[in-house]
Amino acid sequence: MSTLLVAQLLNGLQYGVLLFLLAAGLTLVFGIMNFVNLAHGSLYMLGAYAFAVVGARTESFVLAVLAAVATGAAVGFVLEKAAVSKLYRRDHLDHVLATFGLVMFFNEVVRMVWGPQPMFVTLPEALSGTVDVLGFSYPSYRFLIIVVGLAVAAGSQWLIHNTRVGMLIRAGSVNPEMVGALGVNIRLLNALLFALGAALAALAGAMASPILSVQSGMGESVLITTLVVIVIGGIGSVRGALYAALIVGVADTLGRSYLPMLLRQVAERDVANAAGPALASMLVYVLMAVVLVLRPQGLFPAHKG
């Protein structure tokens, strides 16, 4: 196996687990609470800013991550109580309009507080080196992202399928009135689930900020890919979100690496370099279209996940 292929597979895995951190929270809110939350990308952005600000002041990576997760959870909880809970019984179009307004609100708040210029995060020395993977040197921090993403996947699966809270969440998605009649505070349960999804989005923003620039509007583009992931995996399925995120991450990364090389065999270098990334960006949407034709419910629908 070539060094380039190993590197790109690991990069695809790293990108995939970042997508999963976003998709896990969004698929829970969308699939279980039946709420379309376009502001999920804004929570990702707020997590990145919280990580950058706290990290710069404390020079502690752990404190910065904790601050990002706490910020996401707190903002998510307040949003659910103040606005989202009023929209559950409304049409999905109302969800889209309300959360799109929140996207613009958070983008402007970020510009007012931190300005329009990007912020750049410096990694601590302990995470700026490399580790040996299959005889290949790979950046330590990117490997940490993979480990954190897989740990969150295992924890989310355990929470949903092996705890009383998970049982209530699944029951509440099917018959919230019955769960409420049994004495469960369904409103608090929904608020906690929304806050959990927000915390996961903020964690994704924190983990991505050292390898991307932190700036206003950074959540919009990644939100589109995240929606593709949950459609491919199956709406409401955490397991489906993980597998679909890994598939999309690897397909996108390999496509951007190898499609230009393949096109150079049949076209001029400049044309291949321009067309390759464009075709690679279309690859995940083609994949989604194929899945929707063959399995409209997704690869791993929630009732099987």
CATH code, domain with 93: 1.10.3470
The verdict on residue 300 lying in a domain is no
In a domain, 151, yes or no: yes
Round to whole Å and give the CA distance between 291 and 240. 13
Question: The domain containing residue 196 runs over which residues?
Answer: 3-294
Structural domains of the chain, count: 1
**What pLDDT is recorded for position 213?**
82
Amino acid identity for residue 303 in this structure: H
Q: What pLDDT, in 10s, does the model give residues 183-216? A: 777 788 888 888 998 999 999 999 998 888 888 8
pTM of the model: 0.88
Burial bucket for residue 251 (CB in 10 Å: 0-12, 13-18, 19+): middle
Residue 299 lies inside a defined structural domain of this protein: no
- The two tokens of residue 304 are 């099987």
Q: What is the pLDDT averaged over residues 220-225?
A: 86
Q: Is residue 305 included in any domain, yes or no?
A: no
Average pLDDT, integer, range 5-21? 87
- Classify residue 95 as exposed, middle or buried by CB count within 10 Å of its CB (0-12, 13-18, 19+): buried
**Could you give the 3-state DSSP secondary structure of residue 298?**
coil
For the cut 50, the answer to whether the pLDDT of residue 20 exceeds it is: yes
pLDDT band, very low/low/confident/very high, at 174 (cuts 50, 70, 90):
low
The reply to whether 302 falls in a domain is: no
Count of CB atoms situated within 10 Å of the CB of 186? 17
Sign of the Cα torsion 5, 7, 8, 13 reads: positive
Question: In this structure, is residue 223 part of a structural domain?
Answer: yes
- The residues, any chain, with a CB within 8 Å of residue 61's CB and separated by 6 or more, are 55, 123, 124, 127
Cα angle for residues 49, 51, 55 (degrees, 5° grid): 120
For residue 210, what are its two tokens?
Answer: 């050292």
With respect to residue 122, please indicate whether it lies within any of the assigned structural domains.
yes
Residue (of 279, 286, 287, 284) closest to 263 by Cα position: 279
Residue 301 domain-assigned (yes or no):
no
pLDDT averaged over every residue in the chain = 84
Q: Cβ contacts of residue 184 below 8 Å, gap of 6+?
A: 168, 172
Per-residue model confidence (pLDDT) at position 303: 58
| Mean pLDDT calculated for residue range 229-253 | 87
What are the pLDDT digits (tens) for 135-160?
778 888 888 898 998 898 888 888 87
